Amino acid sequence: MSHDVSHLISRLINGPAPLRQIRFAAVSGSAPALACQVDFPRLEIVLEGALTDAGITGDTSLMTQHDVLYVPAGGWNCQQWQAPATTLSVLFAKQQLSFSVTQWDGMALQNLVKQHVARRGPRVGAFLLQTLHEMQMQPREQQTARLIVTSLLSHCSDLLGSQIQTASRSQALFEAVRDYIDEHYAMPLTRESVAQAFYISPNYLSHLFQKTGAIGFNEYLNHTRLEHAKTLLKGYDLKVKEVAHSCGFADSNYFCRLFRKNTERSPSEYRQQYHSHLTEKPLGEK
């Protein structure tokens, strides 16, 4: 079974086996020592196998494949693993949704997946959760409860899909900006000028590099320029000042300081060491 959260939710919504019983967790009474109790509503869904849950209200605490337990905010549940089973937990916090896939293989309990996604316009999910909360008073209306849970899962799927698309767009934009710098490094580039070329704000450009590239904008720009400077120093008999200007450094003194900081050598020493290395004779050669 795939443990990708988007795939798991899609199968619950559109797969051949529909959701079964929608159960409701306890909201009163003292919770057992090992119970799970948080301030946000949750869905606990059995993906495979079966388990019992001491927090279920009703005649039986047994949950089997595609049974769903709704745990209201402040409510509690207490899963008891007796045979191999896999569950999906969805926690609806104020700012984000949290997904967790847990598996009991008969010997050990392990978390297979943990994932978070930010909530956009949380009122949609909030209204559905409120409706499901009111269904606790009518637990026998299972068809309505299943429709509400399916709608909540569809809402989760939409948010997960948006997260993937956003990440994909960010990666594509980052690569385009990087290609632009690689091509125009010799120009007097600044964070503001590059941001303007892509119709984004300078702050977003910095955020894009830190989040997607794990490197700062200025750090990447200087790295690109220094790599080209090394090529010029090794292959051409240019003055250091000419190398600096050819690589986009208006101030040759700043170029020399930055070069030494990154290589522990001055540009002249770097060139001399490179050419000395080329003219060294191999051991044993006369």
Cβ pair 195, 221 in contact under 8 A = no
pLDDT tens, position by position, 87-126: 999 999 888 899 999 999 988 899 999 998 888 766 778 9
C-beta pairs of 259-265 under 8 Å, 24+ apart in sequence: 259/226, 259/229, 262/222, 262/226, 263/226
90 or 276, greater pLDDT: 90
Classify residue 207: in a domain, yes or no. yes
Classify residue 250: in a domain, yes or no. yes
Last residue of a domain, one of 103, 132, 165: 165
Classify residue 154: in a domain, yes or no. yes
222 and 158, same structural domain?
no
Classify residue 244: in a domain, yes or no. yes
> Is this model's pTM higher than 0.75 or not?
no
Residue 197 sits in a domain whose CATH number is 1.10.10.60
pLDDT of residue 286: 42
Give the domain range for residue 160.
Answer: 5-165
Question: Residue 57 above 90 pLDDT?
Answer: no
190 and 59, same structural domain?
no
pLDDT of residue 283: 46
Give the number of domains in the chain: 2
Instruction: Report percent pLDDT > 90 for the chain.
Output: 60
pLDDT of residue 46: 96
What integer is the mean pLDDT of 211-220?
86
Classify residue 285: in a domain, yes or no. no
Cβ pair 177, 224 in contact under 8 A = no
pLDDT of residue 8: 94
Question: Residue 251 above 50 pLDDT?
Answer: yes
